[in-house]
Amino acid sequence: MKDFVIIGAGDFGKEVAWLIEDINKVHNQYNLLGYIDDNKEIGIELNGYKIIGNTEYLIKMSQERELFGVISMQNPEVKKTFVGTLKNIKWETLIHPSAIITRTVTIGEGSIITAGNIISNNVNIGKHCLINLGCTVGHDNVIEDYVCIMPGCNLSGFTTLKEGSYLGTGVKVIPRITICEGAVIGAGAVVVRDITEPGTYVGVPARKL
Ligand SMILES: CC(C)(COP(=O)(O)OP(=O)(O)OC[C@H]1O[C@@H](n2cnc3c(N)ncnc32)[C@H](O)[C@@H]1OP(=O)(O)O)[C@@H](O)C(=O)NCCC(=O)NCCS
């Protein structure tokens, strides 16, 4: 069993705990110790797992024993800071057993694929990405490090999502689109042109706010 921590005791942290439980039902491999959080009270219980300490505590613990984990926060800068600070954590790639993923997909360490995702051929997914519930990822997509894709998004073939870009719930992207670093696409938007400047984009077709 791998001793495992979830960094971030927010709502998505609880969903990661659910993901760990579902993975364990198929292949019992994680001993979920609890959550790490710098802003919440130690000892609080969330869906059966406690906040066991803060980052300082985790650094100490990870120097003494082998520890596995993921970051449940979604802000790319926050994730990068944790990755830079937590040198001894072994970042796991978590994939829900219900996800349908072709054999030609690569997924980097620390990335999380939750329930109901379908990922087509020749897709490269970087480190510390999140593909949340029920998305479809088309063939030949490139999803760079720290990207977050919220529930129900549909990415057509040859989409490129640059580092740390964020797609809100239900975003659709037509084929051969590139979305740049620092772009936030609002829920329900349809992206029909390359997004080349950082900023927030909403609507059908997606336009800068
Ligand atoms: C796009 C988004 C990031 C903008 O957030 P924000 O910067 O706080 O913007 P505001 O809420 O102040 O809204 C600014 C304007 O944009 C509009 N707007 C906000 N989100 C929009 C969206 N998704 N589609 C269309 N218009 C939107 C608002 O109506 C408002 O218009 P107004 O000025 O005419 O009243 C946010 O609304 C969003 O869609 N986030 C995605 C959240 C999500 O999917 N989470 C997943 C959780 S699992």
3-state SS track over the chain? CEEEEEECCCHHHHHHHHHHHHHHHHCCCEEEEEEECCCCCCCCEECCEEEEECHHHHHHHHHHCCCEEEECCCCHHHHHHHHHHCCCCEECCEECCCCEECCCCEECCCCEECCCCEECCCCEECCCCEECCCCEECCCCEECCCCEECCCCEECCCCEECCCCEECCCCEECCCCEECCCEEECCCCEECCCECCCEEEECCCCEEC
Average pLDDT of 144-172?
Answer: 98
User: Is 139 among the catalytic positions?
Assistant: yes
In the prediction, which pLDDT does 83 show? Answer: 97
Express each pLDDT in 19-33 by its tens digit: 999 999 999 999 999
Residue numbers of the domain that contains 80: 2-91
Domain end residue (candidates: 38, 59, 91):
91
Cβ of residue 151 lying under 6 Å from some atom of ligand 1: yes
- 47 C-alpha to center of ligand 1: Å? 29
Residue 166 CA: nearest ligand 1 atom is 41
Same domain membership, residue 107 and residue 64: no
In the prediction, which pLDDT does 86 show? Answer: 96
Q: What percent of the chain lies above the pLDDT cut of 90?
A: 100
What is the pTM assigned to this prediction?
0.97
Domain end residue (candidates: 51, 70, 91):
91
Express each pLDDT in 84-131 by its tens digit: 999 999 999 999 999 999 999 999 999 999 999 999 999 999 999 999
Domain assignment present for 121: yes
In the prediction, which pLDDT does 91 show? Answer: 98
